[in-house]
Amino acid sequence: MSRLVPPHGSAELKPLLLKGEEREQERGRAQTLKKVPMTSRETSDLIMMGIGGFTPLDGFMGYDDWRGVCDEYAMPSKDGLFWPIPITLSASRSLADSIATGEDVALVDQESGELMGVLTVEEKYTIDKEHECQHVFKTTDEEHPGVKKVMAQAEINLAGPVKVLSESFYPEMFGSLYQTPAEARAIFDERGWSTVAALQLRNPMHNSHAYLAKVAIEVCDGVYIHQLLGKLKPGDIPAEVRVQCIEALVNNYFRKERVVQGGYPLEMRYAGPREALLHAVFRQNYGCSHLIVGRDHAGVGDYYGPFDAHKIFDEIPHGALRLQPLKMDWTFYCYDCGEMASMKTCPHESKAVIDEHGNHVSGSRLLLSGTMLRKMLSEGKPVPKEFSKPEVVAILREYYAGLEEKVEIKLHGAATGDVVRK
C-alpha cells in the first residue's frame, strides 16, 4: 500500500494515453479525420493529460470551466474542482466552422506535424483574452511571454475529451529522466518514502537551489528535483544542458538515496503565483507531498512581487490541495556568516560588492539567481565561486562558448534584489 499523497481530485491517476493495439487502431482512424494544428503549449498540455500529470482532466476545457478557472480557481463541470490555469485548445474560425459538434478531429503538432491525439468536439466558444491574461498573469502587457501566447491564440476554443496517441520526442531524447507520474510514484514507493518535496527547475541548479533542496531533505524523506523539459523563452538554457548541471551537483554534493531526478514535458507560462499553483497540482499527481516555493517562483521580469507565490497558497480555498508549500525565503551566500543563508536567518543586511574579476570586495549578501548567472556567463564574465559549483560553471561555459547567437539577458528586480518585500 502506497503511503504517498493521492492524485489531485481523484483516488487514482487518470492517464489518457492509449497503448498497444488500441493506440494503433485509433492512430489509423485519426488519419481520416480533419486535422487541428496545436501550438507547442497546447501539445505539451495534451501530453500532460496523456501521462496523467493533469489528473483528473479528461480533455480541453469548455467555456464554463475556462471562466470558472479564471475567476474562481474552480471547474463547474467537476463539482467545483480546484484548478488554477485554463487548459484550452484554439482553432481558426474557418476551421472551427467546418467542424460539427460531436465530431472527432485529429490533433497535430504544428511544428513537427506529428499526430498527437484525437478530440471529440463537444463545444466551440470564444473568450475574452484580456480577461484571461489579467486573471492568470496579472497583466495584459504583451511583453510578458505568457500573455503574448494567449493573445496570439486563434479565435475559437474547441473543448471536449481527448485520446492521446504520443508523448512526442520526450522519451527518446531524455530517457529515464523523462518520467510519468506513475513512474515517479513507483520510485518513491520503492524507496519507502511518504513525504516528498518537489524542487521546480527551469534554470541550471546553482547554490541557492542546492541549499533549498537540502533544507527540504531535512524535513521530508527525499527531494524530487523535477525540471521542465518543454519549451522556454529565448535566452533560457535548454534542458539537455541543465540535466548535465544537475547530475554534476547530485553526484558530488548530495546523498544519492535522498534525491530523485525527473523531468516533465510541460511548457513554461511564466504565470508566477498562478503557475506555482499549477506546479503544485501536477506535483501532487507525481506523488509529492510538498513543493518548494522560493523567490519569484515561475516569474518573469518584474510582473510579480518576490513572494507573491507564497501568498497565493494562503488565498486559495482550504483543502483545495493535499500538497503543501514549503515557503522558502530569499537565499544568498553571506560572506560574514561564511555560508548559505536566508533573510530569516542572517542578520547581515549589506549587499555584497564583487569586482570585475569575480572577487568579493565588501558587503555581506551575494544574492543568487538563475537570471544573473545566465547574464554573467553569456557575457563571458567571471562567476564568483560562491555562486555555483565549479563543475556546473564549467558545463555552462562550454555551452555558451558554442552558441553562434546569444540573446541579451536583462536583469530585473527579483534577480538583483533591487525590490522591496511586498
What pLDDT score does 164 carry? Answer: 98
What pLDDT score does 419 carry? Answer: 46
252 is catalytic: no
Helices (H), 254-307: 273-285
Instruction: Please check whether residue 47 is in contact with residue 13, taking contact to mean a CB–CB distance below 8 angstroms.
Output: no
Instruction: Please check whether residue 341 is in contact with residue 330, taking contact to mean a CB–CB distance below 8 angstroms.
Output: no
CATH 3.40.50.620-classified regions of the chain? 171-264+270-422
Query: Which tens digits make up the pLDDT trace of 284-295?
Result: 999 999 999 988
Phi, psi of 240 (to 5 degrees): -65, -30
Instruction: Please check whether residue 372 is in contact with residue 333, taking contact to mean a CB–CB distance below 8 angstroms.
Output: no
What pLDDT score does 415 carry? Answer: 47
Buried b / exposed e over 326-353, threshold 16 CB at 10 Å, is: bbbbbbbbbbeeeebbbeeebeeeeebe
Q: How far apart are CA 98 and CA 76, in angstroms?
A: 28
Find where cell 544542458 sits. 241
What pLDDT score does 407 carry? Answer: 57
Q: How far apart are CA 29 and CA 105, in angstroms?
A: 10
202 is catalytic: yes
Could you give the 3-state DSSP secondary structure of residue 369?
A: coil
Per DSSP bridges, beta strands 259-264 and 222-228 are: parallel
What pLDDT score does 408 carry? Answer: 61
From the list 41, 67, 185, 202, the catalytic residue is 202
C-alpha cell at 244: 548535465
The CATH number of the structural domain formed by 20-168 is: 3.10.400.10
From the list 41, 157, 203, 283, the catalytic residue is 203
CATH 3.10.400.10-classified regions of the chain? 20-168
What pLDDT score does 369 carry? Answer: 75
How many CB atoms within 10 Å of residue 255?
A: 10
Specify the fold of 171-264+270-422. Answer: Rossmann fold (3.40.50)
Taking 50 as the pLDDT cut, the residues of the chain under it are 414-415, 419-422
What pLDDT score does 422 carry? Answer: 36
Query: Which tens digits make up the pLDDT trace of 361-372?
Result: 999 999 877 777
